[in-house]
Chain A
Amino acid sequence: MSETNIDTHQTSTSTGVDNRKLLMWLFLGSDCLFFGSFISTYLVYRNRSLSGPYPNEILDIPITTVSTFVLLMSSLAMVLGLNYVKEGRQVIGRYWTLATALLGMVFLGFQVYEFTHFAHAGLTPRTNIFGTTFFTMTGFHGGHVTFGVIWLLIFAGSSLANTIRQRLLILSAFLSVVVTMIGFFMTETLDVIPHMPFAVTLAFILLGSLGTVLSLFMLRTPDAPSSVISNQESNLEIAGLYWHFVDIVWIVIFTVVYLISANDGAPLL
C-alpha cells in the first residue's frame, strides 16, 4: 500500500507547487468573479419584477434545503475518495468518486424538477426580471455541476478502472441511475409521454435501482498492481477542487437567492 502513496507535493517548479493545481486555483479565483457578477445582478434586480410569479409564490425552501444537503454530502464523498486514493486504496476510492458523481446527478435531478415545476407555474427566463436573473444564475451553476459529473465519471472510468470490465460496470452504474431518475421524473413532473401507465414508471425505477446495486457490487474487484496506478492522485485532486468550488458557489446561492429573497413579493411602487 505504501508504495502507491506517491508524494506529488515535491515538484520541481519555480513556485514549488504543482503547475496544474496552480492553474486550477487561478481559474477558481476568476470563476468567483463569474458567479459574483450573476449573484450581484440578481440582487440589483431584486424586487423589480413588474409581473408574477414572484419568489414568495414559487420558491420551495424545503426541497432546496435537501438538494443543498445532497451537494454538501457529494463534497464529503469527494474528499473521502481523494483521501483513499492518496492512501493507494483504489477500490474504495473508486466507489467514493462514483458516489460523488451520482450525488451530483441527484442534485441535477432536483434542479430539473425545480425548473420543470417553475415552468409549469408560469416562470420562464422571459417571464419577468426575476425569471431572467434566476434561471441564468442557477442554469450556469447547473452547467458547472454537469461538467463536474462528466469529468468525475470519465476520471473514474479512465484512471481508477484498469480493465474493460470495470469501465463497462462504471458506465452501467451511471446509466442505471439515469434510468431510475427518469422513472421518478415520469411519476412526478415530466410529461414526456402523457398518461404513462404507473407500471411502466415502476419498472423503470426498479430496473434502474437493481442495475445500480448489481453494477456496484460487481465493481468490487481487487486493486491494480502499484505500477499501474500512476499520477491519478493529483488528477483527482484537481477535479476535486473544481467540485468543491461548485459546492461553495451553491452555498452562497442557497443563502442569498433562496433564503434571503424567498419572501420577496411584488415591488412596492
Chain B
Amino acid sequence: MKIVIDLSKMKNSFVKIFQSFLGHSTRGYFRVPNTPQDLPDPKDDTPWAGYASYLGDQFNKITRKDGHGSPVFYAVIGLILGIITLIEFGIFYVESLGVLLVPLLLILSLLKFVMVVGFFMHLRFDNKLFTYLFASGFILAVAISIALIVLLAIKP
C-alpha cells in the first residue's frame, strides 16, 4: 500500500489545532501577505490590538506627526525640558541613589536630547533622510566614544 503524504492536508490540520488553541482565525499568523487580499483582516488581531492602535494614534496626535507644532506645543516642550533639567539638578544631591545616579542622569539627558532633536529640530515632522543622516553620525560618534573608553579608560 502506497502512503501518500498530502502536505496541504497536514498543514490544515495543524492550523486547525492552533485555531482551537487560540480561539480565532489564524490568518495573520500563518499566511505570508503577498497581496492586499492576503493581509490579515482585521489588521491586528492580537488581544491587545485595540489598546495598541489607540495608544499609537494618541501618541501620533500628541506629537503632531502629521504637521508642525503650534507655539503652545513648543512652549509645553520647553517647559518639560526645563522640568527635566530641574529633576537632574535635584537627583544629583540625592546620595541614597548610589550607582543608580549615572544611568538615571543618562536616561534623562537622552530624553532631553530626543525631544530637542525631534520637535525643535523638526525631525519628527521632516523628511526621513535627515533623520538617517544625523542618526548615522550620532551613532558612529557614540560607538567610537564607547570603544575609546573601553580601550583606554578601563584598567585591566
Given contacts A15-B129, A252-B113, whether A260 and B105 have CB atoms under 8 Å apart is yes
Distance A25 CA – B123 CA, assembled complex (angstroms): 10
Bound form: Cα–Cα A259–B84 in Å = 14
Interface status of B133 (Cβ within 8 A of chain A): yes
Mark A residues whose CB is within 8 Å of B: 15-17, 21-22, 25-26, 28-33, 35-37, 39-41, 43-44, 46, 61-62, 65, 68-69, 72-73, 75-76, 78-80, 83-84, 86, 237, 240-241, 244-245, 247-248, 251-252, 254-256, 259-260, 262
Contact with A along B99-143 (1 / 0, CB 8 A): 001100110110011001101111000010110011011101110
How far is the CB of B32 from the nearest CB of chain A, in Å? 32
Tell whether, in the assembled complex, residue A244 and residue B74 are in contact, meaning their CB atoms are under 8 Å apart. Answer: no
Q: Does B58 contact A (CB under 8 A)?
A: no
Contact assessment for A61 and B74 in the assembled complex, using a CB-CB cutoff below 8 Å: no
How many angstroms from the CA of A214 to the CA of B89 in the assembled complex? 36
| Closest-CB distance, B145 to chain A (whole angstroms) | 4
Known contacts A78-B120, A260-B102; A72/B78 CB under 8 A: yes
- Size category of the binding interface on chain B: 35 or more
Measured CB to CB, the closest approach of chain A to B31, in angstroms, equals 35
Task: Determine if B55 is an interface residue (Cβ-Cβ < 8 Å).
Answer: no
The 3 closest A-B pairs by CB, nearest first: A29-B137, A36-B141, A76-B78
B82 is contacted by which of A28, A30, A72 (Cβ under 8 Å)?
A72
A62 to B88: give the CA distance in the assembly, Å: 11
